[in-house]
Chains A and B, each alone.
Chain A
Amino acid sequence: MLGLSLREVSAALKQGQVSPMELCQKCLSLIKETKFLNAYITVEEERALKQAEESEKRYEKGQALGILDGIPIAVKDNFSTAGIETTCASNMLKGYIPPYNATVVQKLLDQGAVLLGKTNLDEFAMGSGSTDGIFGPVRNPWSYSKQYREKKKQSHHRADEDSDWLITGGSSGGSAAAVSAFTCFAALGSDTGGSTRNPAALCGLVGLKPTYGLISRYGLIPLVNSMDVPGILTRCVEDAAIVLGILAGHDPKDSTTAQDPVGPFTLPILRDVGKLCIGIPKEYSAPGLSSEVQAFWSKAADLFASKGAKVVEVSLPHTSYSIVCYHVLCTAEVASNMARFDGLEYGHRCNVNVSTEAMYAATRREGFNDVVRGRILSGNFFLLKENYDDYFVKAQKVRRLIANDFVKVFNSGVDVLLTPTTLSNAVPYLEFIKEDNRTRSARDDIFTQSVNMAGLPAVNVPMALSSQGLPIGLQLIGRAFSDQQLLTVAKWFEEQVQFPVIQLQELMDSCQTFSQHKKLASVSLKR
């Protein structure tokens, strides 16, 4: 049951095959049993059950609110949730209970979704591994999959279960792990430089980054206001489209949302692939790209071509500068956005009381980790009067060049760009932490962050398993506000590649959680 798609389980709820309460309880049990994944920071058991109960009543009366009614979901812990602790995995906000719901959270709740809890992340969403939060790193469920384990045995690696686990990618790793391990049917992440698409690729999920301005950011605790978007993580493309349909639209509380009407986001079946033009940016053959990913990328391009699509090489000449550009703009905005954390109105407050400045300094020293503090200092450097033009304005100019690259390409007839999402499959945690956060982020975000700078929609679609038995995903990028078209292509692609379901049977069996449904994971995704 937990392995079904949103549409399927919603139908099951409607037909009474399962009740919202049952569904909720199953998910909550599974969360408990998969606690070692460290995907959740807060689990709201009582609240979730109450919501499920109310949903059940509605179903009984035949008054379901919509397709999401009664569906368990999870939300990344940088979205404000009224009455539920929202920490951003930072000491600065430990114990902070927002008095309001983020617009996206409210929209989901208004549709009757059941909020199971808040998921783990890198502190303040800064990172590409979900390893740098105060609640510890998130483990990739694929570390425990049959597919991965078998490959490991084959290559005669020590099956050291506990210390060899893999990262989820980040920074929305908690949400990715939650969806990947079947504890919920959809999860909200955020995407500033790839934070939704990256963990989606490493955890074998669909990770959608919508167009900037399509979904409200009100209530999303910001990293980079001019690039952040709420991201959607699901197990199939259609589910992502369903959630997008609910979340998209103008929000008077967010002045950066488009005022034009949006939608609908129902996905037609892509019948005429021949009319499609797929662009392959040549600059995305970056150093560090694993040969496996390259091969899959090539294979995917082949696939499109074989079905009649026009596949062309394109150029995004300023790609090589996107990391640097992102680095400057991101740290500058971070420096600004973090200025509000001073302990006075909310959040952590130190015990120093000599003066306001001393209190602020001590609070911020205690509240932020090294990564955050480092970015604040760098950002302030770039914003200094004497540096502003040379760094910040310069980066803004480069941003325009990067955005223009995409505009030119799309104007030349390309519908969708096809690129890798990550350099390789998920790596073991111990290997990952050998380098510092900024180095990693700079490297891992390479395929994803220029999309944020241009504000375009992009989606990761899981394609196949690597030789290690781990997911490899590819990224599709579309024109601004062409999210529906993008997802239509993504859905077609997903259907073609038939990415395998994660096999967590052993894990489940050893947990002995389910009374009725023991054999979950071998259910293939039906249409």
Chain B
Amino acid sequence: MAAPILRCARAGRCWSLGSRPRRTRALFAEPVPGRVREQSSAALQEPRPGAHEWAAVVGLEIHAQISSNSKLFSGSQVSFLAPPNSSVSFFDASLPGTLPVLNRRCVKAAVMTGLALNCTVNKKSLFDRKHYFYADLPAGYQITQQRLPIAVNGCLTYSLSVGAHWSPSATKTVRIKQIQLEQDSGKSLHDDTRSQTLIDLNRAGVGLMEVVMEPDMSCGAEAATAVRELQLILRALGTSQANMAEGQLRVDANVSVHHPGEPLGVRTEVKNLNSIRFLAKAIDYEIQRQIEELRNGGKILNETRAFDEKLGCTVSMRDKEGKQDYRFMPEPNLPPLILYDAESLPTAADPQQVVNIDWIRERLPELPSVTRGRLVEQYGILPEHSFALLNEDGLLEFFQTVMKETRAEPKKVIGWILSTFLGYLKQRNLAVSESPISPSSLAELLSLVDSKVISLPAAKQVFEELWQNQGKTTGQIIQEKKLELLQNQEELEEICQAVLAEHPQEVMAVKKGNQKVVNKLIGMVRRATEGRADPIRIKQILEKQLQ
């Protein structure tokens, strides 16, 4: 699925104009003048007199499934789409007497993610039990880290685009409150015909990282961009595949509205957001809903709402009457998790039993923000190009492969990739991986343009043909369609001469000073050459001949 390119002005209506009672203003870049009217919270604007301004506050709780072979506390396989209950250990099924044993890989993943998000990694963290009854929670409690999670106090920086183009003039930061390790629950499949629920525990016990983002965001677009950036980071680290459609990344949003300068409003929790696009939509809907509710004199309930994709709105989930109390208790079967750094590393340590934060930090893979910077430097492309390259799954690799195999300039290649290639993909709703044109083919085509074997318009034609994927190579198509540029200077001069001879009036006009007619003559020559002549050369020849 192609990821949407997020445009603040179009996708989200950003509500908070004017000051917000938040400390994060200092982190926001100064807005580009003239374009900020609809940008969220970037400017310190006075509320327009008479207008009843609203500010929205959005926080996120994100659950990312850890990419590991086995589960967080047991040795059963982390599988997707396995037959029901086929990768469930005795511990996952909560058989009495079974005990949790922590997976080292999950710890490492959490540390990597924490470091990438600029968190403080706690050298000592603890596990707790969170109690509630649900059919997909066999033990009647979830093991999580409530008191002392593995990482705290980080931040994530993301860039919003303004207007129609990708010009990341607004850099935002959202604070990461904490990252904690916890168990995933099983899956319930509701069978309404037989009035029963089928329980599959394959997912029960899979390791999750819960990333809590503070309510520093103010609209759907901001939240969506932040989540997108987190996705890119997780994928770059390899700690989670973070695919929302497959449930590897789940986002719950906490939304509230208030008048600028007044205290924060009651918040609702919005769940069941299965894609970045729905995430933005749901949040914006909920903001709007709350504003209207309050405008009409109603109250906002502290409740949980689900996003209904079909209706495009949030619906109140049937809430439990009476309050929920998770009765957190320390997990007695897991002693404290101790992490080390270069200084505190015990000398005779078993490497299997030791997780060294410094060692991990030194080997952290390149993060998206660094990648973008590197691309700009390496290829001389614009920053917004690098954003666009990373924003589409597989596009960066595609670009880099093309660059390796072509002699064309990066700037030219980027243009092709971001407008023509991407355009074709979007039109047909395809992912990069589904492209009928391989990077090698495109590389070849661009090389031919660069060496002036064919003209740009001809290349576009070839591209179209290649896309139809009829098995023909670039060379074959060019030959068939007779698209090669006429290189022969004499031949060209002859044709030009002929055209001039046939159109004495136009010649006269040019000699009288009408330059526009030159283009007409160029056009005629082009037609005469069946488009196989480079317009620039035609112009040169004609100009010479017209003197």
- A residues whose Cβ falls under 8 Å from a Cβ of B: 79-80, 88, 93, 98-100, 102, 217-222, 224-226, 252-256, 259, 332-333, 335-336, 338-342, 344-346, 353, 356-357, 360, 380, 383-385, 388, 392
Whether B97 contacts A80 by the Cβ 8 Å rule is: yes
Q: Decide yes or no: A340 and B139 within 8 Å by CB, A356-B197, A384-B327, A385-B325 being known contacts.
A: yes
Q: Decide yes or no: A339 and B141 within 8 Å by CB, A98-B95, A345-B93, A346-B95 being known contacts.
A: yes
Segment at the interface with A among B261-269, B329-337, B392-400, B502-510: B329-337
Whether B140 contacts A339 by the Cβ 8 Å rule is: yes
Residues of B close to A218: CB separation below 8 A: 97-99
Whether B97 contacts A98 by the Cβ 8 Å rule is: yes
Residues of A close to B93: CB separation below 8 A: 345-346
* Beta-carbon nearest neighbor of B102 in chain A: A255
Is B388 part of the binding interface, using a Cβ–Cβ cutoff of 8 Å? Answer: no
Residues of B close to A383: CB separation below 8 A: 131, 327-329
Residues of B close to A342: CB separation below 8 A: 133, 138, 140
Q: Which of A80, A225, A385 contacts B332 (CB 8 A)?
A: A225
B83-128 with Cβ < 8 A to chain A: 90, 93-102
Q: Which of B133, B332, B334 contacts A356 (CB 8 A)?
A: B133
Residues of B close to A338: CB separation below 8 A: 140
**Bound complex: CA A388 to CA B325 (Å):** 11
Residues of A close to B139: CB separation below 8 A: 339-340
Sampled A-B contacts (12; CB under 8 Å):
A80-B95, A102-B97, A218-B98, A220-B97, A224-B332, A226-B332, A253-B101, A339-B131, A341-B96, A344-B135, A357-B133, A384-B327
Residues of B close to A353: CB separation below 8 A: 195-196
Residues of B close to A392: CB separation below 8 A: 329
B126 to chain A, nearest CB (A): 13
Q: Decide yes or no: A255 and B332 within 8 Å by CB, A99-B90, A340-B138, A342-B133 being known contacts.
A: no
B377-394 with Cβ < 8 A to chain A: none
B416 to chain A, nearest CB (A): 56
Residues of B close to A102: CB separation below 8 A: 97
Contact with A along B130-163 (1 / 0, CB 8 A): 0101110011110000000000000000000000
Q: Which of A217, A255, A339 contacts B100 (CB 8 A)?
A: A255
Whether B138 contacts A344 by the Cβ 8 Å rule is: yes
- B residues whose Cβ falls under 8 Å from a Cβ of A: 90, 93-102, 129, 131, 133-135, 138-141, 195-197, 199, 325, 327-329, 332-335, 353
A368 to chain B, nearest CB (A): 13
Residues of A close to B195: CB separation below 8 A: 353
Residues of A close to B353: CB separation below 8 A: 259
**Bound complex: CA A336 to CA B97 (Å):** 13
Whether A336 contacts B98 by the Cβ 8 Å rule is: no
A340 to chain B, nearest CB (A): 4
**Bound complex: CA A17 to CA B44 (Å):** 97
B338 to chain A, nearest CB (A): 13
Whether B133 contacts A339 by the Cβ 8 Å rule is: yes
Q: Which of B131, B328, B333 contacts A255 (CB 8 A)?
A: B333
Interface centre among B95, B327, B353 (most CB of A within 10 A): B327
**Bound complex: CA A217 to CA B98 (Å):** 9
Q: Which of B138, B329, B334 contacts A332 (CB 8 A)?
A: B329
Whether A385 contacts B97 by the Cβ 8 Å rule is: no
Whether B133 contacts A336 by the Cβ 8 Å rule is: no
Whether B332 contacts A333 by the Cβ 8 Å rule is: yes
A185 to chain B, nearest CB (A): 25
Whether A222 contacts B97 by the Cβ 8 Å rule is: yes
Q: Decide yes or no: A336 and B99 within 8 Å by CB, A226-B332, A392-B329 being known contacts.
A: no
Q: Decide yes or no: A340 and B335 within 8 Å by CB, A218-B99, A392-B329 being known contacts.
A: no
Q: Which of B134, B135, B140 contacts A340 (CB 8 A)?
A: B140
Ranked 8 nearest A-B pairs via Cβ: A339-B140, A383-B327, A225-B332, A226-B332, A221-B96, A340-B94, A219-B97, A340-B139
A224 to chain B, nearest CB (A): 8
Q: Decide yes or no: A221 and B97 within 8 Å by CB, A255-B102, A255-B335, A339-B139 being known contacts.
A: yes
Q: Which of A254, A333, A339, A344 contacts B99 (CB 8 A)?
A: A254
Whether A336 contacts B101 by the Cβ 8 Å rule is: no
**Bound complex: CA A397 to CA B334 (Å):** 19
A327 to chain B, nearest CB (A): 16
Extra 5 A-B pairs, beta carbons < 8 Å, given A333-B329, A383-B131: A217-B99, A255-B335, A256-B333, A341-B96, A344-B199
Residues of B close to A388: CB separation below 8 A: 327-328
B543 to chain A, nearest CB (A): 85
Whether A100 contacts B140 by the Cβ 8 Å rule is: no
**Bound complex: CA A222 to CA B139 (Å):** 13
Whether A93 contacts B138 by the Cβ 8 Å rule is: no
A77 to chain B, nearest CB (A): 12
**Bound complex: CA A227 to CA B32 (Å):** 64
B346 to chain A, nearest CB (A): 13
Whether B329 contacts A336 by the Cβ 8 Å rule is: yes
Whether A384 contacts B90 by the Cβ 8 Å rule is: no
Whether A255 contacts B140 by the Cβ 8 Å rule is: no
Residues of A close to B134: CB separation below 8 A: 356
Whether A255 contacts B334 by the Cβ 8 Å rule is: yes
Residues of B close to A346: CB separation below 8 A: 93, 95-96
**Bound complex: CA A313 to CA B168 (Å):** 77
Whether B90 contacts A385 by the Cβ 8 Å rule is: no
**Bound complex: CA A253 to CA B333 (Å):** 11
A99 to chain B, nearest CB (A): 7
**Bound complex: CA A346 to CA B197 (Å):** 17
Residues of B close to A336: CB separation below 8 A: 129, 131, 140-141, 327, 329
Whether A93 contacts B96 by the Cβ 8 Å rule is: yes
Whether A100 contacts B90 by the Cβ 8 Å rule is: yes
* Beta-carbon nearest neighbor of A227 in chain B: B332
* Beta-carbon nearest neighbor of B129 in chain A: A336
Q: Decide yes or no: A340 and B101 within 8 Å by CB, A356-B197, A383-B327 being known contacts.
A: no
Residues of B close to A259: CB separation below 8 A: 353
Residues of A close to B131: CB separation below 8 A: 336, 339, 383
Residues of B close to A333: CB separation below 8 A: 329, 332
Residues of A close to B129: CB separation below 8 A: 336
Q: Which of A217, A332, A335, A345 contacts B94 (CB 8 A)?
A: A345
**Bound complex: CA A385 to CA B323 (Å):** 11
* Beta-carbon nearest neighbor of A217 in chain B: B99
**Bound complex: CA A255 to CA B135 (Å):** 27
Residues of A close to B141: CB separation below 8 A: 336, 339
B184 to chain A, nearest CB (A): 17
A519 to chain B, nearest CB (A): 42
**Bound complex: CA A256 to CA B335 (Å):** 7
**Bound complex: CA A253 to CA B91 (Å):** 10
A118 to chain B, nearest CB (A): 13
**Bound complex: CA A383 to CA B129 (Å):** 11
Residues of A close to B333: CB separation below 8 A: 225, 254-256
